[in-house]
């Protein structure tokens, strides 16, 4: 109970702080970036190793430039997660614009479910909030990893579900995989996370490295005949994002889970090569070996 009070108080304080002028938060982000990279050296060795192995063709100077830009982007993601606690609908629609929502709307109008996959590029938090506003006629859900603390998890679901997004935990997905959601739906999956069980993963050469990928989103799409869509989140300039929906496959039943996952992998890799500093390089993505 005492822990719950502390968490609620903390979220209330952050909600008040999130009302501060946005420009102030990005000044704070600059300070955080310096501290993370040069003082605390947050996962510095992980970032450098990931970049070196992913871009062997780049010079030390190029990798150093990407590293510096990455820490700036990482700090922006941190302050944006606080901003999202109290952000208003008008503000999120101004900062995260879905350029072609008509693709999703037309698929749903045909009675198709949609499984949307994205990577940790740009502000995925803002992208999910913005998408949940755009999707106003259909059930919208996102798969997430719950916190071990029940009180914190409850507050997290409130923040991420403030515009109607249904949060489904990883543990609940087998149930929905079997029975569906009962109505036309659009689901969002962060599909580039490290697989917990490499023996069950799909392995692909990704950024020059053998990499394990989850096939859950593809299995979900095949089980419910859902259109498979890639969500490309691009930072236009600081604090502003463009979200583009790209159809991977309208009828996933004609393909295997691995084939669908491979097509996502290639799209994600292309996006990372376009803007390398936008991806989450501090993640221990290659901790498993084939």
Give the whole-angstrom CA distance, residue 272 versus residue 281.
11
Of 60, 8, 74, the residue nearest 282 (C-alpha): 74
Residue 98 counted as domain residue: yes
d(CA 251, CA 14): 43
Summarised one tens digit per residue, pLDDT across range 170-190 is 888 888 877 777 889 999 999
pLDDT for the residue numbered 14 = 66
- Residue 190 in any domain: the answer is yes
Are 112 and 257 spatial neighbours (Cβ–Cβ below 8 Å)? no
Q: What is the pLDDT of residue 194?
A: 85
Cα(241)–Cα(77) distance, integer angstroms? 12
Ranges of residues in the chain whose predicted pLDDT is under 50: none
Across the chain, mean pLDDT equals 91
Q: What is the 3-state secondary structure (H, E, C) of 217-253?
A: HHHHHHHCCCEEEEEEEEEEECCEEEEEEEEEECCHH
Residue 269 forms part of a structural domain:
yes
Domain that holds residue 227: 2-278
How far apart are alpha carbons 41 and 102 in whole angstroms?
43
Note the pLDDT tens digit of each residue in 103-113: 999 999 999 99
pLDDT, position 158: 86
121 strand-pairing partners: 279
Whether 284 maps to a domain, the answer reads no
At 177 the pLDDT is 73
pLDDT of 7: 61
What pLDDT is recorded for position 170? Answer: 82
Q: Is residue 289 part of a domain?
A: no
- Note whether residue 146 is domain-resident: yes
8-state DSSP, 165? P
Q: How many helices (H) and strands (E) does the chain have?
A: 11, 9
Per-residue confidence (pLDDT) for residue 175, from 0 to 100: 84
Q: How many domains does the chain have?
A: 1
Residue 186 falls inside a structural domain: yes
pLDDT for the residue 6 = 61
* Upper half-sphere CA count for residue 93 (Cβ side, 13 Å): 9
Residue 127 lies in a domain: yes
């Amino acid at each position: 109970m005492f822990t719950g009070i502390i968490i609620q108080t903390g979220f209330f304080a952050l909600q008040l702080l999130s009302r501060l002028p946005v420009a102030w938060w990005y000044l704070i982000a600059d300070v955080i970036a310096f501290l993370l990279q040069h003082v605390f050296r947050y996962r510095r060795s992980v970032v450098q190793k990931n970049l070196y192995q992913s871009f062997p063709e780049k010079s030390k100077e190029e990798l150093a430039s990407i590293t510096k830009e990455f820490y700036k982007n990482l700090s922006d993601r941190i302050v944006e997660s606080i901003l999202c606690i109290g952000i208003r609908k008008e503000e999120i629609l101004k900062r995260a614009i879905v350029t072609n929502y008509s693709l999703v709307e037309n698929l749903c109008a045909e009675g198709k479910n949609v499984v949307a996959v994205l990577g940790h590029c740009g502000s995925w938090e803002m992208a999910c909030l913005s998408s949940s506003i755009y999707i106003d006629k259909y059930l919208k859900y996102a798969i997430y990893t719950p916190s071990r603390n029940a009180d914190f998890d409850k507050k997290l679901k409130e923040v991420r579900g403030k515009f109607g997004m249904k949060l489904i935990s990883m543990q609940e997905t087998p149930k929905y995989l079997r029975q569906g959601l009962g109505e036309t739906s659009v689901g969002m999956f962060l599909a580039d996370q490290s697989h917990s069980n490499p023996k069950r993963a799909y392995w692909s050469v990704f950024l020059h490295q053998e990499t394990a990928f989850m096939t859950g989103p593809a299995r979900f799409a095949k089980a419910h005949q859902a259109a498979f869509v890639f969500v490309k989140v691009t930072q236009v300039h600081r604090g502003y994002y463009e979200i583009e929906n790209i159809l991977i496959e309208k009828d996933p039943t004609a393909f295997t889970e691995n084939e669908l996952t491979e097509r996502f992998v290639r799209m994600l890799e292309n996006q990372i090569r376009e803007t390398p500093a936008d991806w989450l390089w501090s993640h221990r993505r290659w901790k498993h070996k084939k």
